[in-house]
Amino acid sequence: MEKLPLGLALDLRKVVPYKTGSWRTLMPVNIMQIPPCNHGCPAGNDIRGFLRVLAEKNDYEEAWHVLTRNNPFPATCGRVCPHPCETDCNRRDFDTPVAINSAERCVGDYGLEQNLEHKKLISERKEKVAIVGSGPAGLSCAFHLAKRGFQVKIFEANSEPGGWMRYGIPSYRLPNYILKQEIEKILNLGIELECNVKVGVNIPMDQLTQHYDAVFLGIGAQVGWSIDIRGKDAQNVFTGVEFLKQINSGQIVEVGRDVVVIGGGNTAMDCARVAKRIGANVSIFYRRTRVEMPAITAEIDEAMEERIMFRYHTNPVKIIADEGRVVGVLCVQMELKEPDASGRARPVPIEGSDLVYPADTVIMATGQAVDYDGIDIHKIDNQWISTNEDLMTSMDGVFAGGDAVLGPETVTAAIGQGARAAAAVENYIDGNVQGRLAQPPVIYSKDLNTYYYKQSRRFTKEAESIHMRLKNFREIYPSFDREEIAKEAERCFSCGLCFDCGNCYMYCPDNAVKISPSGGKYEFDLDFCKGCGLCAKECPCHYIQLTLEK
């Protein structure tokens, strides 16, 4: 037997530490959860992901790549998206939501400025996919398919790609050069684009289904609907779609002095603000009130700032024309009664409240429809394309998405549909039947331990003065300071994902939280963890949770 030093009965070097982990009934686990911003994003952006990259590394390049993994239009969405992510942000219950939309725009602009390129996931495949329409849905679908190696060809009816982003959204909201660059980056993945080809008119639909393995219809809803009133055939009566298309194609439209816009949606706001910039006095006529207006709140606010007159409870009944030209609109006042099928209050005319408003131009932005010329497909309500869960239409191998399926929706929603359709097209071509993967749970503010967060001021974007705005079609928000945006990103709570605060590491009374040697930030030493739950309780972002011992 080895001789031990005096006083020792046991060789201490051979002692095994006492493993207190056997006491445990509950054990801590790291659970990555979906933050409400990611959950609420129609395009499926990894918002927490790109904000964390900005906050931790201030690395705009990586942030751009994180963002464009799902959405090839960060600069566009950063300008036009109504950002449901900010509405859902858990920080709203603490102080103010993170300015996600501004951060997205800043990252998108950085990508364009530095000319960053999308990366292909796998090399070429031989299967061919045709995309009809180069709007947000079509381009997003093309982008995701091209990244997965498919041979993609886009057919566009207009002379330039972009769909409603190009011909609908005015350039003070989305400058043309930004959109052009983002589309160029997508096309650089090896996507073929053929403009001035209208599928169903110039090429029959059958030809596509025969020559391609799959077809995606992203044809949008680009036919303006006008309400059926007397005198609508007069000169200078446009639908909203026609008007915006003419303006965005660079045509000069003579609107005269007084412009009346009918409707309360985003198209109505766009038409009104465009007409204001041309120099007219603009008023918006809407049957209900501001509360019921379907337009994006910020758009309505900006329109009001630009001194556009809002006439609520006003319904046009007749357009008065003189020698074929509009001179006025006869309106009747409405009052709101119990809600109708759409959930909005039902307007009912008040007798004897007729009034004539002078008008040189009337723009009717009262709805949009799909142009089905030459495309014979099963529809819902004879209006929107009917699809199954995988966005496949009644025709085998023909998928659809965007406004043509959803009805007039946001750019972001169309991008999300394009991405979903791309996944469905891949499964269809590969013959996979893929069940939907179980999604991690969404984390809400009640689960967070906000003690560790500090209150701070939200980044606010500064608009040009109204006087300057109305002079031209320049973008109304000049570009943002990158340092400020990086600071704003630090306000992100990182809900449901470790952000390396070190609380678990410092608070564990048993020293059972170790710095992980394998890349992850911290890991539990379950040999010694007693399962007290202190780490879970003090984890600010609820990444650590307790579960029953296995």
Beta bridge partners of 546: 28
**Site membership for another protein, residue 506 (CB under 8 A):** yes
Which listed range, 205-213, 306-314, 380-388, 507-515, lies at the site for another protein (CB under 8 A)?
507-515
Give the nearest distance from C-beta 106 to another protein in angstroms: 31
- Of 229, 423, 507, 523, the residue at the interface with another protein (CB under 8 A) is 507
- Using DSSP's 3-state secondary structure scheme, residue 272 falls into helix
CA distances from 292 to 11, 230, 345 (A): 81, 26, 8
- Of 39, 528, 542, 545, the residue at the interface with another protein (CB under 8 A) is 528
CB contact at 8 A, 337 and 346: yes
Residues 6+ away with beta carbon under 8 Å from 387: 393, 399, 400, 401, 405
Q: Which residue type is seen at 14?
A: K
Give the nearest distance from C-beta 533 to another protein in angstroms: 3
**Site membership for another protein, residue 19 (CB under 8 A):** yes
Nearer to another protein, 146 or 501 (CB): 501
Q: Which of residues 401-460 bind another protein (CB under 8 A)?
A: 451
Nearer to another protein, 285 or 524 (CB): 524
- Of 48, 185, 313, 530, the residue at the interface with another protein (CB under 8 A) is 530
If DSSP states are collapsed to H, E and C, what string results for 456-516?
CCCCCCCCCCHHHHCCCCCCCCCCCCHHHHHHHHCCCCCCCCCCCCCHHHHHCCCCCEEEC
Token pair belonging to 313:
């409870």
Q: Which residue type is seen at 505?
A: Y
Token pair belonging to 101:
């939309």
**Residue 83: φ, ψ to 5°:** 40, 70
**Site membership for another protein, residue 6 (CB under 8 A):** no
**Site membership for another protein, residue 1 (CB under 8 A):** no
CB contact at 8 A, 319 and 362: yes
CB contact at 8 A, 49 and 492: no
Which listed range, 17-25, 279-287, 389-397, 410-418, lies at the site for another protein (CB under 8 A)?
17-25
Q: Which residue type is seen at 530?
A: K
Angle between helices 100-113 and 47-57 (to 10 degrees): 70
Q: Measuring CA to CA, which residue among 484, 490, 483 is closest to residue 453? A: 490
Give the nearest distance from C-beta 515 to another protein in angstroms: 9
Which listed range, 159-167, 245-253, 304-312, 520-528, lies at the site for another protein (CB under 8 A)?
520-528
- Of 5, 17, 250, 324, the residue at the interface with another protein (CB under 8 A) is 17
Q: Which residue type is seen at 191?
A: I
**Site membership for another protein, residue 372 (CB under 8 A):** no
Let me know how many helices (H) and strands (E) the chain has, helices first: 19, 22
- Of 15, 252, 341, 433, the residue at the interface with another protein (CB under 8 A) is 15
Which listed range, 82-90, 130-138, 208-216, 529-537, lies at the site for another protein (CB under 8 A)?
529-537
- Of 215, 532, 541, 545, the residue at the interface with another protein (CB under 8 A) is 532
Nearer to another protein, 5 or 509 (CB): 509
**Site membership for another protein, residue 322 (CB under 8 A):** no
Nearer to another protein, 180 or 521 (CB): 521
Nearest-angstrom CA–CA distance, 336 and 348: 6
Which x/- pattern over 484-503 shows residues binding another protein (rule: CB under 8 A)?
------------------x-
CB contact at 8 A, 161 and 195: yes
**Site membership for another protein, residue 10 (CB under 8 A):** yes
**Site membership for another protein, residue 531 (CB under 8 A):** yes
Nearer to another protein, 190 or 502 (CB): 502
Give the nearest distance from C-beta 494 to another protein in angstroms: 20
CB contact at 8 A, 286 and 311: yes
Binding footprint of another protein, residue count (CB under 8 A): 31
Give the residue carrying structure tokens 């019921």.
Answer: 292
**Site membership for another protein, residue 30 (CB under 8 A):** no
- Using DSSP's 3-state secondary structure scheme, residue 53 falls into helix
Nearer to another protein, 250 or 509 (CB): 509
Nearer to another protein, 9 or 437 (CB): 9
Which residues sit at the interface with another protein, rule CB under 8 A? Answer: 10, 12, 15-20, 23-24, 451, 502, 505-512, 525, 527-528, 530-534, 536-538
